[in-house]
Structure 1
Amino acid sequence: MRLNKRLLRTALYALLTLLLAAATLSVLSRPGTSSSPAHTSGRAGKTSKGLFSDILNLPGTDSVQEIEDPLVLVAVGFVTCTAFAFFESCSDDIGKVYKRLSSVTDDYSVIQTTHVHKFRKDLRSGRSTFTTIHPYEVRVPYDLVSKYSIPAIDSFFVHNALDDTLLKNTRIPTPILEATKNTTNIKLLNSMGYYDAGYGLWYRTSPSHSTLYHQVNFLFNAHLGDTLPGWSAVSKRPLTISKNDAYSLGADRNISDFRTFNYHKFDNEVYVYVKEKKPVYIPQVSLKTHKDGKFKIVQLADLHLTTGFGKCLDPYPKLDYPLKNCLADEFTLDFVHKVLDLENPDLVVLTGDQLFGPETFDSETALLKLLGILIQRKIPYALVFGNHDTEGGTLRPGMMMHMIENLPYSVSSSVPGRVGLGNYEVVIDGVGSNPPIVLYMLDSSQPGEKGGYKAFTDEQKHFVERLSSYHEDHKDPIKLAFFHIPLPEYTNVVNVDAANRQGNFLEGVVPSSPNTGMFDTLKSLNVRLISVGHDHCNDFCFNNDGVTLCYGGGTGLGGYGGYGGYIRRIRVFEIDTNSKEIITWKRLYNDPETKVDLYSYT
């Protein structure tokens, strides 16, 4: 490759290594090579929207429809790079794809409008010191694909050495299978016109366009396709990123023997998902109280999910098997399932640290494990970030919020400008003459300049005041606020005796600093209750100057816990707009059937 030759030439000039780095970046930006692991696009210079397209409200209907994506998949592949110090050598087949396109038509507009999107995620998940593997997709506008009969992808296949009869599950005619009984799967795939994309992924193209795909994605979980509208898994088997993957049961795996077998060896398995070119209709979210005036909210705080199975921290009750075998995410999400079954909430509020950033090498996978549950159950949800959500992974905060906003059943929102991401309100309409319920969702996740956590800004306070002004015509709306880091006023709990405090106070309050007056602002706007996360082993509520201050309590086994026999828990709120009463209780990980610490505030 051109890159290798340049590296060989410039290696002779040891004193010019800085120039070498600049020259390498210049060459890597051309088609057929690869640059740093960031979202890039081809000659059209457009940015990919990521996993989910925007959605469009359809006036007068009870559904939304995705905005039409004009692009279709014509190729998929991998950029494999080996790097040492300033030297990097990369290989891919993007050049061959351009050559295939050019062989179909000499209309240069096809090349000009071709989108090459390289995913930020490294499929080696940071396990290799010198090697990275970044998938890419090549897409062409549908009108050009149709006009010139450009072959587009119509079939995928993941070859796994564990079972050489897998081809029987594809659309290959029986006579061809019978005629090739003594032929290996690889040869059969070649004979059927499949391209070897690498790492066990094969795809076939056809000018017939009987099946067309918009997008492809690579996730570290085998079951997400069951919950995401319009998306499906290519195979139950993972790609062959490592030797163990070639003999993996994948989605067919039974983990019931986790007590004696460490399933974390499969944390890094990669699965391929595709989205067909079909319209996806999603029910429109409409939040309103029930006819009896009630509305129920489940708060999930500090789930600390990761990309793989998740490693447990401080599990309690104590385990009767090795800690290394504990599957934090599996058990946390099973707990969430049980509480959702019991409570059947109208809304789920996620108050930060959904992800444990340092252990999360793919943010999409970790988030979708949780949000896929809510999507499958058709439960609306509102989300704010915590301090760990964006520490690692593959998505920057803005990209993550964009993804969340455009997922089904999300009522989350972002506001551009100085206010920051994750500051918005959720309004639940009342029935008849009953007042609405207003939830203020606020971003408290920014680190402070001298350690600790940044206080709420004047812009955020003014923003909440403006939101509140929109409800001046409503009759006494019932207002609550949710965010991650506790306000300094939470430290006042030390002055409250146990009889006037409901719940556990097992660790010191770690608030934002300095005190910039957000509590006073929220109180002046008649916010009646505030609930936060962050301090996992606190789950108390107490009255502070007329406002109830609560903790959700740590939910996830992937976050610290276990202090003084502390058991993971989930908080529930029921708001009665008739009596204007707010009732809250919790459910425990080891006994979810029982409500504990019932607390009523009127």
Structure 2
Amino acid sequence: MIAQNSISIFIFFDAYFNENSLISHILPSSKSKFPIFNSPASTSATIHENSNGEIEDSHVLVGVGFETCFSFLFLKSCTNNINQIFDIFPNDREFLEKAQISYIKKNLYAKKRYFSTIYAYEVRLPYDIVKEETIPAIDDFYVFNKKENENNHNDFSKKIPNGILIESNNEKTFSGLKKLGYFNAGYGLWYHVSTEHKKSYSHINYLFGPKADIPIPGWFQPSLYPLSINTNDELSLGSNRPLKDFKAMDYHQFDYEVYLFVKHRVTAKLPSFNLVANKKLKIV
């Protein structure tokens, strides 16, 4: 009887505090209007070659964000700002059901925290629907950095990236920026959405360290500065940090800096080569 009561208490706390638990998937949490991470994984999207010979992803990013969790023993409490992402959708449940909400299984706190985690998520929709229904999609990313803003003498009290201040004619209110299509994803990351779809992206990823890179065609780093995850990240020199003083400085202290990488939805045609019979092929 005592064991049964213990199990019941555990399930109750798990359902209340753990938004990723099985029970919370059955009984959606009241903390968020839209249950997060219930959609199929983004890897289910198809990739094909268009008429121009370019590699094209069938889905496009319409929003990104983070889920921050604190856990101790079997207690877990999570928060996210996914509600702001769904503000861009029409009031039609059909579009919400077709959205792919998935997260990167990489704790951005790395080894710095024992009871806290940060997981990034992305929201994607089929490009055909986004284009046909003129749904706003992400066309630019920004990362806040105090040093960059100080050099340009801008007010950084609200942690608005310098690039956004310039583009928005120095708009500093969150409501005003939202009307212009700028969204604060958290931890220093901002993005802009537009219905013009001149630029579109299909995936995000986060790598540790200022010299990290993704050599796969289509991937690029939109900002040289890291996200504001760890102490002093906002004052980091980022990828511009010179390596000539490696003897006098321990560069491993920057190993936990988190850098954003994004993937274009359309990638230039990949190079190809033909293997000739009876010829040696050397792979370096």
TM normalised by structure 1 equals 0.39
Counterpart amino acid of 2:62?
V
Q: How does 1:281-300 map to 2 (within 5 A)?
A: 281-288=269-276, 295=281
Taking a change above 3 Å as real, the CA distance of residues 21 and 34 of structure 1, as seen in their structure-2 partners, is farther
Q: Report the identity percentage.
A: 32
Equivalent in the alignment of 1:89: 77
- Structure 1 residue 49 and structure 2 residue 43: aligned? yes
Question: Which one of the candidate residues 121, 124, 136 is aligned to 1:151?
Answer: 136
Equivalent in the alignment of 2:22: 26
Any idea what the Cα deviations from partners look like across 1:272-310, whole Å, max 9, x if unmatched? 1112222431112544579xx555xxxxxxxxxxxxxxx
- The answer to whether the 8 Å contact 2:41/2:101 transfers is no
SS of residue matched to 2:193:
strand
Question: Which one of the candidate residues 96, 111, 119 is aligned to 2:104?
Answer: 119
Equivalent in the alignment of 1:386: none
- The answer to whether the 8 Å contact 1:115/1:139 transfers is yes
Question: Which one of the candidate residues 219, 223, 228 is aligned to 1:231?
Answer: 219
Question: Which one of the candidate residues 189, 193, 197 is aligned to 1:205?
Answer: 193
- The answer to whether the 8 Å contact 2:142/2:189 transfers is yes
State how far apart, in whole Å, the 2-side matches of 1:150 and 1:42 are.
Answer: 22
Give how far 1:33 is off: 9.0
Question: Which one of the candidate residues 228, 244, 249 is aligned to 1:256?
Answer: 244
State how far apart, in whole Å, the 2-side matches of 1:217 and 1:53 are.
Answer: 19
Question: Which one of the candidate residues 138, 142, 148 is aligned to 2:123?
Answer: 138
Q: Which structure is higher in RCO with an 8 Å CA cutoff and minimum separation 6?
A: 2
Q: How does 1:570-581 map to 2 (within 5 A)?
A: none
Equivalent in the alignment of 2:66: 78
- The answer to whether the 8 Å contact 1:41/1:48 transfers is no
State how far apart, in whole Å, the 2-side matches of 1:228 and 1:69 are.
Answer: 15
State how far apart, in whole Å, the 2-side matches of 1:185 and 1:253 are.
Answer: 32
SS of residue matched to 1:18:
helix
Q: How many pairs align? A: 263
Give how far 1:218 is off: 1.2
Q: How does 1:542-561 map to 2 (within 5 A)?
A: none
Counterpart amino acid of 1:262?
D
Taking a change above 3 Å as real, the CA distance of residues 187 and 33 of structure 1, as seen in their structure-2 partners, is closer
State how far apart, in whole Å, the 1-side matches of 2:191 and 2:183 are.
Answer: 5
Taking a change above 3 Å as real, the CA distance of residues 89 and 171 of structure 1, as seen in their structure-2 partners, is closer
State how far apart, in whole Å, the 1-side matches of 2:10 and 2:85 are.
Answer: 32
Equivalent in the alignment of 1:266: 254
State how far apart, in whole Å, the 2-side matches of 1:150 and 1:95 are.
Answer: 16
Give how far 1:151 is off: 1.3
Any idea what the Cα deviations from partners look like across 1:77-114, whole Å, max 9, x if unmatched? 0000000111100001223323442xx242x2201110
- The answer to whether the 8 Å contact 1:219/1:271 transfers is yes
- The answer to whether the 8 Å contact 1:33/1:91 transfers is no
Taking a change above 3 Å as real, the CA distance of residues 17 and 245 of structure 1, as seen in their structure-2 partners, is same
Give how far 1:169 is off: 5.2
Question: Which one of the candidate residues 272, 280, 283 is aligned to 2:268?
Answer: 280
SS of residue matched to 1:20:
helix
Taking a change above 3 Å as real, the CA distance of residues 100 and 189 of structure 1, as seen in their structure-2 partners, is closer
Any idea what the Cα deviations from partners look like across 1:305-337, whole Å, max 9, x if unmatched? xxxxxxxxxxxxxxxxxxxxxxxxxxxxxxxxx
Give how far 1:268 is off: 0.8
- The answer to whether the 8 Å contact 1:118/1:137 transfers is yes
- The answer to whether the 8 Å contact 1:120/1:134 transfers is yes
Counterpart amino acid of 2:10?
L
Give how far 1:152 is off: 1.1
- Structure 1 residue 128 and structure 2 residue 113: aligned? yes
Equivalent in the alignment of 1:588: none
State how far apart, in whole Å, the 2-side matches of 1:227 and 1:285 are.
Answer: 19
Counterpart amino acid of 1:207?
T
SS of residue matched to 2:84:
helix
Larger Rg: 1
Q: How does 1:117-516 map to 2 (within 5 A)?
A: 117-164=102-149, 165=152, 172-173=166-167, 177=169, 180=170, 192-223=180-211, 227-288=215-276, 295=281, 346-348=282-284
SS of residue matched to 1:145:
helix
Give how far 1:144 is off: 1.7
State how far apart, in whole Å, the 2-side matches of 1:34 and 1:250 are.
Answer: 35
Give how far 1:140 is off: 1.1
State how far apart, in whole Å, the 2-side matches of 1:21 and 1:85 are.
Answer: 11
CA RMSD of aligned residues (A): 3.6
Taking a change above 3 Å as real, the CA distance of residues 159 and 42 of structure 1, as seen in their structure-2 partners, is same
- The answer to whether the 8 Å contact 1:20/1:86 transfers is no
Taking a change above 3 Å as real, the CA distance of residues 288 and 170 of structure 1, as seen in their structure-2 partners, is farther
Give how far 1:126 is off: 3.1
State how far apart, in whole Å, the 2-side matches of 1:248 and 1:289 are.
Answer: 52
